[in-house]
Structure 1
Amino acid sequence: MGPAELRTHLIKRLKHYGIATNVLDAMEKVPRELFIPEQQKPYAYQDTPLSIEMGQTISAPHMVAIMCNLLEIEEGMTILEVGTGSGYHAAVMAELTREKGHVYTIECYERLAQNAKEKLKRTVYTNITVITGDGSEGLKEHAPYDRISVAAAAPEIPQPLIDQLKRGGRMVIPIGTRHHQELYLVTKNHKTRIERKGGVAFVPLRGRYGQKIC
């Protein structure tokens, strides 16, 4: 089977997670094979995380689907992603928010940020801005955000991310140590609601509000 057929087969399997149709449709349009190293391309449509560079990974497709599903992304939304990685997750969110929306994605590693920019140039998505910086502090200049997606595990929810979330906004973020993490959904209204959504495994968040790594 070619990449398109493998992608369709993967999407059918992801339906078992109860993922919304618009998320599945978006993932079917984004070619995951563009975002992974050449030696990993045979595994592009296996539902597993894959190594990229700098000790980082591209999340398993089911995790991208679950996080996007929890965010309930709508057309025209402004989104902040913390942890660009390969750029794949940003592309899926750009497909969901469409041309009227925008995805700002921040990566602490310059090399990964540049690689993601190059890969995203090969897609149709012009509504993504890749920035190098400390994602744990958010990106104040474009705040507030309708949605925030964090793709690295923090010891606790960084206050700057809560501050930069729009009222009525939603954020997904893994919290915990390198050995035990839970995915949380944060909803900001007159009060901030925090819901645990299950165990996960992410690389550690780096930066001022990230993990203390020796």
Structure 2
Amino acid sequence: MRGWIIPPPTEPIKTKEEFEAERTAKVTWLIQHDFLKSDRIKNALLKVPREDFIPDNYRDYAYEEVPFPLPGERATISCPHSYPLFYEPLGLDKGDKFLEVGLGSGYGAAVAREVVGSEGLVVSVEIDPLTFEYGKGNLERAGYDDIVLVNADGGQGYKDLSPYDTIAITAACGSIPPPLIDQLKIGGRLISPVVKGDVQDLVLYEKSERGIQKLT
């Protein structure tokens, strides 16, 4: 988490109404800064209470642009802008079958579930057992009981429910794991942070009959 100044842990004191006001203000900020364009993603971000997916001692900072530590090895919940930053280029939409590699807090899966709706499906794979249980517990308490959660190596995807319309890899990798390419449908999109040397870029791919092509 180099470069981020994480606020000191504190006992949560904010009310539900205060969080709702902060959530609305954050969505307005995301629109103003061109992170957010889709109405479905906007409505999902307005609906899902991010504060319920953050450890209690950081709960009051839920809508600050800072990643916070989670149970598990090097696990974090990403900054609020990261979710539209991933989901907008994917074109995540109603009815999509979406694979998330890296469950984390469960917040991203909850937002995605609101976007794809009951006509779609969200599958999330998490390798770290502590992080998996934390994210799973958050989703259960929030009432998201129809998201498929898998405690396994995300680089292997989840073949049983493939192919997927959209795939998001939430942790940086040197290259896209071949099983994820195989499980993406023709015309589907995949987004991932990709590391080349000392540089990390967020890269969008689309799959065709010839394989995957880099779009950005």
- Normalized against structure 2, the TM-score is what? 0.86
1:56-87 Cα distance to aligned partner (Å, 9 max, x none): 11011111111011111121211111000000
User: Matched residue of 2:60: which SS?
Assistant: helix
Partner of 1:39: 57
Partner of 1:27: 45
Partner of 1:99: 118
Q: Is the 8 A contact 1:35 1:88 kept in 2?
A: yes
By how many angstroms is 1:24 displaced?
Answer: 1.6
> Which protein is bigger by CA-based radius of gyration?
2
User: Matched residue of 1:121: which SS?
Assistant: helix
Alignment RMSD, CA only? Answer: 1.5
CA gap 1:148/1:132 in 2 versus in 1, 3 angstroms: same
More off after superposition, 113-122 vs 87-96: 113-122
Is the aligned partner of 1:195 residue 2:189? Answer: no
* Residue pairs, 1:117-156, within 5 angstroms: 117-156=136-175
One-letter amino acid of the counterpart of residue 17, structure 1: D
Identity %: 36
CA gap 1:167/1:14 in 2 versus in 1, 3 angstroms: same
By how many angstroms is 1:190 displaced?
Answer: 2.9
User: Matched residue of 1:24: which SS?
Assistant: helix
One-letter amino acid of the counterpart of residue 9, structure 1: A
By how many angstroms is 1:177 displaced?
Answer: 5.8
By how many angstroms is 1:48 displaced?
Answer: 2.0
Q: Which consecutive residues of structure 2, in runs of 5 or more, have no partner in the other structure?
A: 1-16
Is the aligned partner of 1:50 residue 2:44? Answer: no
Segments ≥4 residues shifted beyond 2 Å: 124-127, 177-180, 189-192
Q: Which consecutive residues of structure 1, in runs of 5 or more, have no partner in the other structure?
A: 197-214
Is the aligned partner of 1:2 residue 2:18? Answer: yes
Using the alignment, how far apart are the partners of 1:31 and 1:132 within structure 2?
Answer: 24
Is the aligned partner of 1:68 residue 2:93? Answer: no
One-letter amino acid of the counterpart of residue 105, structure 2: S
Q: Is the 8 A contact 1:101 1:127 kept in 2?
A: no
